[in-house]
Structure 1
Amino acid sequence: MKRETQNILLVLLGGALLKIALNGTYLRYVKPGQQAWLIAAGAIMVVIAFVSITRDVITARKPDQVAAIDDHDHGHGIQSHSTWLLILPVLAVFLAPPALGEDAVNRAAGRTPPPPSEEYSFPALPAGDVIDQRVMDFVERAAWDKAGTLNDRNIRLTGFIAHNDNSTYLARLAIGCCAADAYPVKVKLDGQGLGTLVSDTWVKAVVRYQPGTSTKESRHVPTVTVTDVQSVPEPPDPYEY
């Protein structure tokens, strides 16, 4: 591969990293704290590419060095084929695959968040008719809080719909570092007409926990009674941490 092509690919890869870091698309792949690293990596790639291009342009203006450059490129052409692999992450970024959804939840159906080393001491929930909570916080409280603070409380959860067999779930994917280590946190929905909800549709659901349903046998997936459900747009950051 010629040096010009290598430099162009480096510009594209660095530009792709900058693009997703600045427009927020990077949240489909990594945690928010990684944004600065993506910007730095993309900027370094672009700078290196432009330095290399500038050097080649200056060198090309010197006739006595053109032959040496050509000989160098011909001599190492066989070893540079792997450089074409740089196009793969560029294509992946520009094609912008959607965030993980129902398929990832069902494929990881046997995996649950690890239990705590000791019982959590959960603070009382704030006052109010409806309380907003993350799905992860709700699942942890349902599993490990022995004080029953979720009992008889209306909780609003935001997540996407996932169907498995004859059951319907509201789910989120939690990540530790990036989408590669994502695992599902979910609640089983109980109510009328849930089978008509479209898979991967994002919703806000007001639910009530059914005490005693988050057990080892259920893999700590609590069952909730749905009192209201409304479709919402996918949030900019689809994951929980």
Structure 2
Amino acid sequence: MRRETQNILLVLLGGALLKISLNGTYLRYVKPTQLPWLIAAGTIMVAVAFISIGRDIIAARRPDGPVDVGHHHGSHSTWLLLLPVLAVFLIAPPALGEDSVNRAAARTPPAPSASSSEDFGFPPLPAGDVIDQRMRDFVERAAWDKSGSLNTRSVRLTGFIAHKGPDTFLARMTISCCAADAYPVKVKLDGPSLDTLAGDQWVQATVRIHPGTANKDTAYVPTATLQNLQLTQQPEDPYEY
């Protein structure tokens, strides 16, 4: 690969990292805690590229500078490396959604640490007719809370719609570090006209759980009656942790 090509790639890749860092779209790919590393990496790449370009220009202007009389036979495949970088600049890939939910292997929600198998130490739910919960908290409590604290409560969840066969789910992707290790947490919805909801549409859904549905036979995916639904925009940070 020629030095000029290397420098162009460094500028574009570093610029792409800085762009997604500054406009917030990096949250589609990594956790918020990765932001300083992205900015540092992008800045270093751009700086190294410009230092290299400057040195090449100075060397070319020297009277005794090297004269390149050969022919360069660069591989066209080298320029294919630009495609993912240009994709970030021109068409930023969206956050993971319905397709990722349907392709992901089922994963059992982790059981909280507890002093006994019957008491997982979930804190009391707040008061109110409708309470807000994260999807992951709701699914974990549905699967492991033996006291049934959710059974008589209406809970408002924020997620996106995912269809699989005749079933409709409210889903949210969870990541540990980045989108590469993402897995879905989801709730099977019970209600009329669910098939008319658009896949990947973000919603705020008020639900009430069907007791006992989050078990081994359902891969710990609870079923809940849909009480109310409001369309909403994708959150700035679409993932849970």
TM over 0.5: same fold? Answer: yes
| CA–CA distance in structure 2, aligned partners of residues 116 and 16 of structure 1 | 39
Conserved? CA contact 1:10–1:86, under 8 Å:
no
Q: State the Cα distance separating 1:86 from its structure 2 match.
A: 3.9
Instruction: Say yes or no: does 1:104 pair with 2:100.
Output: yes
| CA–CA distance in structure 2, aligned partners of residues 33 and 78 of structure 1 | 43
| CA–CA distance in structure 2, aligned partners of residues 3 and 12 of structure 1 | 14
| CA–CA distance in structure 1, aligned partners of residues 9 and 43 of structure 2 | 14
Q: Residues 140-182 of structure 1: CA distance to partner in whole angstroms, max 9, x if unpaired?
A: 0000011111121110000000011111100001011111111
| CA–CA distance in structure 1, aligned partners of residues 157 and 28 of structure 2 | 20
Conserved? CA contact 2:155–2:207, under 8 Å:
yes
Give the match for residue 215 of structure 1.
215
Q: State the Cα distance separating 1:58 from its structure 2 match.
A: 1.1
Q: State the Cα distance separating 1:80 from its structure 2 match.
A: 7.7
Instruction: Say yes or no: does 1:121 pair with 2:121.
Output: yes
Instruction: Say yes or no: does 1:159 pair with 2:155.
Output: no
Give the match for residue 27 of structure 1.
27
Normalised TM-score (structure 2)? 0.91
Listed as ranges, the gaps of 5+ residues in structure 1 are none
Give the match for residue 2 of structure 2.
2
The within-5 A match list for 1:46-65 is: 46-65=46-65
The within-5 A match list for 1:73-222 is: 74=70, 84=79, 86-94=81-89, 95-116=91-112, 118=114, 119=117, 120-222=120-222
Q: Report SS of the residue matched to 2:218.
A: coil
| CA–CA distance in structure 2, aligned partners of residues 102 and 112 of structure 1 | 19
Report the number of matched residues: 236
Specify which structure has the higher proportion of helix.
1
Q: State the Cα distance separating 1:6 from its structure 2 match.
A: 2.1
Conserved? CA contact 1:206–1:226, under 8 Å:
yes
Conserved? CA contact 2:2–2:74, under 8 Å:
no
Q: Residues 17-73 of structure 1: CA distance to partner in whole angstroms, max 9, x if unpaired?
A: 000011111111111111110000000000001101111111111021131xx26xx
Conserved? CA contact 1:6–1:83, under 8 Å:
no
Conserved? CA contact 1:7–1:52, under 8 Å:
yes
The one-letter code matched in structure 2 to 1:105 is V
**CA-atom RMSD, angstroms?**
2.0
Q: Report SS of the residue matched to 1:217.
A: helix
Normalised TM-score (structure 1)? 0.91
